[in-house]
């Protein structure tokens, strides 16, 4: 009814012209007020324009603003699987910071670890002309469809949209991630320092660069330290961890530790061991990766690797939300990691003097300004 009294059609949204007419001001003045432009406007006049906008039901057209050369006020976050705790950390950080620091909206796309869905969502975000895209998908085959993804990413960049990744993908975009070789080395050093010589390694899906780098670093150091090990690649879920732990120990009953590629896998492994009446860490030690909520919920508390997922998401968002991100030439930032000692990994001799949280910065390249090349 109000729209009809103001001369508006019920089928057509109010325009800036309608606001200006209702407030008895020029269209340019109404536009400056509603954009919060840095232009001196009388307080009473500003109140009149804002009240008129509410009265006629005016909502800014962000698409039109973008076509006039403005920013869309949206970024895309493409994540692997919302059921995985570490993606929840990333999504919470990015969405909250987008709102409070950058006054923008983060669109979260859950690809369910499907590489083709990742490509589809990147296309959709391009069509919506978001201001930036963060690739945070992991734990799936990233090689089979790599060429298709790279083609889409290049198209997105040509459209002037900034792209960043939270893991090494062999794409021409800045990467905000821990050094995954250093992460693998930190893991292997702790195994050796604690005196374990027979271990099972339960890692996530193999066909991606991140897992390859971690696995090479772990196995190389263990081999050089005369540690016997067996490796299996599984889905990064508690259910997969439960089954894989049972299978690994059935084949290798003399193993003293299970080293897992995520806290989710480790949580499942501990569930399996406790169900079988096997003491953790008295009989079998378990180590995770991520320092997610599952590490805290685990009984005993998981020994794990702090991967600083929140910091990685924050840095990537700050990059893509920057007005000069596309032309900055940034290569990203190496995110620090650290060993977090819980009570799930036994010391068989040698590492009892280590602090509960052992920093491994010496294994990492120096932390760089995210807007400069590393």
CATH number of the domain located at residue range(s) 2-60 in this protein: 1.10.260.40
Nearest to 166 by CA among 306, 316, 307, 290: 316
pTM: 0.79
Contacts of 39 (CB under 8 A, 6+ apart): 32
The CATH number that domain 74-177+314-318 falls under is 3.40.50.2300
| Residue 216 three-state SS | helix
* Same topology between domain 74-177+314-318 and domain 180-307+336-363: yes
DSSP for 50-116, written as a single string: HHHHHHHT----HHHHHHTT---SEEEEEES-TTSHHHHHHHHHHHHHHHHTT--EEEEEE-TT-HH
Cβ–Cβ < 8 Å for 127, 153: no
Angstrom distance (rounded) from CA 108 to CA 85: 15
| Other beta carbons within 10 Å of 369 | 9
CATH classification (class only), 180-307+336-363: alpha beta
- Every domain of the chain and the residues it spans: 2-60, 74-177+314-318, 180-307+336-363
Give me the tens of pLDDT residue by residue for the chain, a chain 374 residues long: 444 444 444 346 788 888 889 989 888 888 888 877 566 778 888 889 889 888 988 877 655 555 555 577 899 999 998 888 999 999 999 999 999 999 999 999 999 989 999 999 999 999 888 999 999 987 778 889 999 999 999 999 999 999 999 999 999 999 999 999 999 999 999 999 999 999 999 998 888 889 999 999 999 999 999 999 999 999 999 999 999 999 999 999 999 999 999 999 999 999 999 999 999 999 999 999 999 999 999 999 999 999 999 999 999 999 999 989 988 889 999 999 999 999 999 999 766 544 444 444 434 333 333 333 22
């Amino acid at each position: 009814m109000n729209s009809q009294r103001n001369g508006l059609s019920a089928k057509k949204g109010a325009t800036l012209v309608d606001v200006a007419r209702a407030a008895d001001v020029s269209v340019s003045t109404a536009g400056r007020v509603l954009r919060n432009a840095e232009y001196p406007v009388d307080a009473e006049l500003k109140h009149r324009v804002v009240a008129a906008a509410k009265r006629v039901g005016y909502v800014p057209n962000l698409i039109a603003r973008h076509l006039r050369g403005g920013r869309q006020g949206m970024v895309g976050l493409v994540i692997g699987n919302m059921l995985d705790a570490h993606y929840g950390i990333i999504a919470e950080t990015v969405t909250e910071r987008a709102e409070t620091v950058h006054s923008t909206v983060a669109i979260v796309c859950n690809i369910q670890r499907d590489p083709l869905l990742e490509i589809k969502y990147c296309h959709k975000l391009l069509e919506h002309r978001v201001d930036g895209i963060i690739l945070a998908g992991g734990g799936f085959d990233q090689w089979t469809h790599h060429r298709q993804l790279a083609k889409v990413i290049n198209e997105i960049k040509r459209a002037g949209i900034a792209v960043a990744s939270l893991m090494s993908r062999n794409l021409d975009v800045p990467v905000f991630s821990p050094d995954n070789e250093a992460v693998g080395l930190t893991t292997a050093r702790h195994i050796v320092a604690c005196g374990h010589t027979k271990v099972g390694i339960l890692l996530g899906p193999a066909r991606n660069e991140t897992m390859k780098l971690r696995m090479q670093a772990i196995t190389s150091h263990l081999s050089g330290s005369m540690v016997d090990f067996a490796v299996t690649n599984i889905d990064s879920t508690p259910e997969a961890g439960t089954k894989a732990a049972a299978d690994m120990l059935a084949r290798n009953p003399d193993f003293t530790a299970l080293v897992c590629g995520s806290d989710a896998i480790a949580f499942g492994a501990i569930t399996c061991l406790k169900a079988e009446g096997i003491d953790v860490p008295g009989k079998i030690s378990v180590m995770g990766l991520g320092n997610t909520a599952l590490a805290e919920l685990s009984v005993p508390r998981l020994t794990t690797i702090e991967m600083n997922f929140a910091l990685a998401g924050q840095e990537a968002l700050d990059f893509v939300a920057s007005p000069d991100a596309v032309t900055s030439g940034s290569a990203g930032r190496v995110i620090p990691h650290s060993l977090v000692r819980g009570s799930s990994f036994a010391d068989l001799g040698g590492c009892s003097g280590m602090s509960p949280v052992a920093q491994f910065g010496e294994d990492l390249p120096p932390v760089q300004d995210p807007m400069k090349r590393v």
